[in-house]
Amino acid sequence: LTLGDGLFETILARDGASLRLAAHLARLKAGAAVLGMSVPIPEAALATAMEETLSANAISDGVLRLTLTRGPARRGLLPPDRLRPTLLITAEAADGLLLSPVGAIIAVTTRRNEHSPLSRCKCINYLDNVLARIEAGKRGADEAILLNTAGNIAETAAANLFLVIEGRALTPPVADGALPGIMRAEVIGRLGAEERSLGRGDFSRASEAFITNSLAIRPLLMVDGVAIADGRPGEMTEKLRDGSHLIR
Amino acid sequence: LTLGDGLFETILARDGASLRLAAHLARLKAGAAVLGMSVPIPEAALATAMEETLSANAISDGVLRLTLTRGPARRGLLPPDRLRPTLLITAEAADGLLLSPVGAIIAVTTRRNEHSPLSRCKCINYLDNVLARIEAGKRGADEAILLNTAGNIAETAAANLFLVIEGRALTPPVADGALPGIMRAEVIGRLGAEERSLGRGDFSRASEAFITNSLAIRPLLMVDGVAIADGRPGEMTEKLRDGSHLIR
């Protein structure tokens, strides 16, 4: 934890059960492989522990957070020969979920590093995203869009981003620094969306836009003070939200 | 800690006192400003707490680690209105200090993001450095050199880097992703070293090379299996080490 040497998953819970659990655990496993470690307990035991965390906290609809770190080690960067990974499970009721439409800024504070394999992992090195989100708040916006080091759109501070251009849903590829979001993959599948590099100039070409993460699909109505199309939630976005088994 | 939202300092202690404390605390303060927070206790109280940590652990010569995080918060990226920062102080005896010459690789796993203000802060988002250091171990080297996203040399996984070319000590500028190391600043001052962008081609031009952090100045003798000059510690490096008040 003191080096940011770990991963996390944010998982929606409904009626006491985790949604899209298999996909979350597959991503956790893939991230662990990038870090050179493995998930220390079997999938079924992890699922049980998560359910128990929900019930112990009397939460039926809410959010689980799974945090996996490489575990204790002596000073220095090299992990010990024998790892003792740390696994944290926390749960929170869904009261704080944000589902409303979003106005965003394009962050100038920082950029996402598409040259790091960590841009493809949900790791706990989240400070660039925190800084971007703070910048959004200061500039009166709900969310921050992160560009990568080449100036292409990567994602937002806490979500993936989709633009609808010429009737087609487009989203930045993972190679551009987009986190491979669970909801992103689901939306790509459902809409037949295309992964394509996008720049800041593409917002003016979009007929609608939305952002996705495991907790919500939210219409993106404005970027840097300029409305996207007519500034109202788009048809594709609304249809998507209706069918996504999210807490509304 | 679960978002990597914090800073740290690694400080050498000798005879029960912290070395270069003012410089470390100045950097901590500068980093806190980048994060939009402040160091929560006065400098003198912090110095006292560090001394007490050393004496409580009966450590005279060793290493202190100061970790400052933004503190507890609810789920989400936005900090609470009222911060309660967490400050950790740990101490370790100096037995594990590595002072020997170094063979390094140029990391291919990841790159340092010079576009992020975090490249100028000693923040606990250290996973890129951990991955680079693990790569070095796998490739039989002691340290990893990190390039930035433009392909210039930034630093090593846990130190700054100096090359001596045509009799002049050179080190990558902070703008290229070099952490503004405390020892780096001291060495720049003592040698009149120049901050200059360096590429991988510059290793073959160097008559000697060394790496610096607050714990050690170590000769760099080899990069990707190729010796620097005659592959022996250089004169400037040896002279520097003699005068640096490090544990030898």
pLDDT digits (tens, 9 = 90+) for A193-236: 999 999 999 999 999 999 999 999 999 999 999 999 999 999 99
- What was the ipTM of the complex prediction? 0.95
Task: Give residue B248's pLDDT band: very low, low, confident or very high (50, 70, 90).
Answer: very low
Substitution target from B9, B57, B127, B135 for chain A, most A beta carbons within 10 A: B127
Q: Is the CB of residue B125 less than 8 Å from the CB of residue B112?
A: no
Residue of B nearest to A90 (CA): B75
Give the predicted TM-score (pTM) of the model: 0.96
Beta strands (DSSP E) in chain A are 6-14, 17-18, 62-69, 86-93, 102-106, 143-147, 153-156, 160-165, 168-171, 194-195, 208-213, 216-223, 226-227
pLDDT score of B112: 98
* Min Cα separation A42/chain B (Å): 23
Task: Give residue A247's pLDDT band: very low, low, confident or very high (50, 70, 90).
Answer: low
- For residue A111, give the nearest of B5, B34, B115 by CB distance: B115
pLDDT digits (tens, 9 = 90+) for A82-106: 999 999 999 999 876 778 999 999 9
- For residue A1, give the nearest of B1, B109, B130 by CB distance: B1
pLDDT digits (tens, 9 = 90+) for B111-127: 999 999 999 999 999 99
Chain B residues touching residue A97 (CB < 8 angstroms) = none
Interface touch B124/A4, C-beta < 8 Å: yes
Interface touch A137/B78, C-beta < 8 Å: yes
B86 CB within 8 Å of a chain A CB: no
Task: Give residue A248's pLDDT band: very low, low, confident or very high (50, 70, 90).
Answer: very low
A residues 44-73 closer than 8 Å to B (CB): 63, 65, 67
- For residue B36, give the nearest of A77, A88, A134 by CB distance: A134
pLDDT digits (tens, 9 = 90+) for B164-176: 999 999 999 999 9
* Min Cα separation B107/chain A (Å): 11
**Contacts of residue A198, Cβ cutoff 8 Å, sequence gap at least 6:** A152, A153, A163, A170, A171, A172, A176
pLDDT score of A83: 96
pLDDT digits (tens, 9 = 90+) for A170-184: 999 999 999 999 999
Backbone phi, psi, residue B56, to 5°? -65, -25
A residues 203-222 closer than 8 Å to B (CB): none
Interface touch A2/B88, C-beta < 8 Å: yes
